[in-house]
Amino acid sequence: MRVIVARCAVVYDGRLGARLPEAVRLVVLKADGSVAVHSDSRAYKPLNWMSPPCTIAEEPGLITATNPRGETLRIEVAEVLHDHSVDLGDDPGLEKDGVEAELQELIAARVQALRDGMTLVRREYPTDIGPVDLLCRDAEGAAVVVEVKRVGEIAGVEQLLRYQERLDRDGRFAPTRGMFVATRVKPQARVFAESRGVEWIEVDLDELRGGVEAPLRLF
């Protein structure tokens, strides 16, 4: 990982255009090919970013990230205040809390309740950016990427979309469908999921624990 604090302007050129005027910002370049530009606010969310994989090119005063779709993120560097690189090594991954782990196990045992004809391919299917909770096939044989959360938020939908993007590059699975499953899906996450063609489902943990065919709500 490389961490740069610099006075810079940022220009995004893709499906839409966007520009951040010159200011002091934090730029994070990660080994997976992602780039994120942060300010000293907004908590964890970057002002602009480019998801992996990206091709990074550098020249004096300019860092350019280009993704496979031809979109570019140009960081015009006026002054570098700090530039440091460190090898973080392999990450063991996020350990789910007890509720999420239990939800994943219970849903894996009855994926047909999510949709008629659904079958489980594998739990924790590995990708180069982390494991997919459940990889399934629907009745027509299409690959379905299932992300399981205790509480469904926008970040969880974004995570699911990243997994879909990786698996859509594999001819065995493309094109994939996304399914977001939680005990409660927040309204903003519902809207975002629907806008990206992702189905969302709310499940009742107690009913799943009891082996009852829970009345899942599918959208």
Q: What is the pLDDT of residue 219?
A: 41
Measured CA to CA, the distance from residue 139 to residue 116 in angstroms comes to 7
Cross-strand partners of 131: 126
Confidence of residue 184 (pLDDT cuts 50, 70, 90): very high
Q: What is the mean pLDDT of residues 69-86?
A: 95
Q: What pLDDT does residue 86 have?
A: 92
Residue 60 DSSP code = T
User: Could you report the per-residue pLDDT of 119-157, keeping only the tens digit for each?
Assistant: 999 999 999 888 999 999 999 999 999 999 999 999 999
Q: What per-residue confidence (pLDDT) applies to 218? A: 44
Mean pLDDT of 72-96: 83
Which pTM was predicted? 0.57
Strands (E), the chain: 2-13, 17-29, 35-38, 48-50, 55-59, 62-66, 72-85, 119-127, 130-137, 143-152, 177-185, 199-202, 217-218
Give the pLDDT band of residue 15 (cuts 50, 70, 90).
confident
Domains delineated in the chain: 2-85 (2.70.180.20), 98-218 (3.40.1350.10)
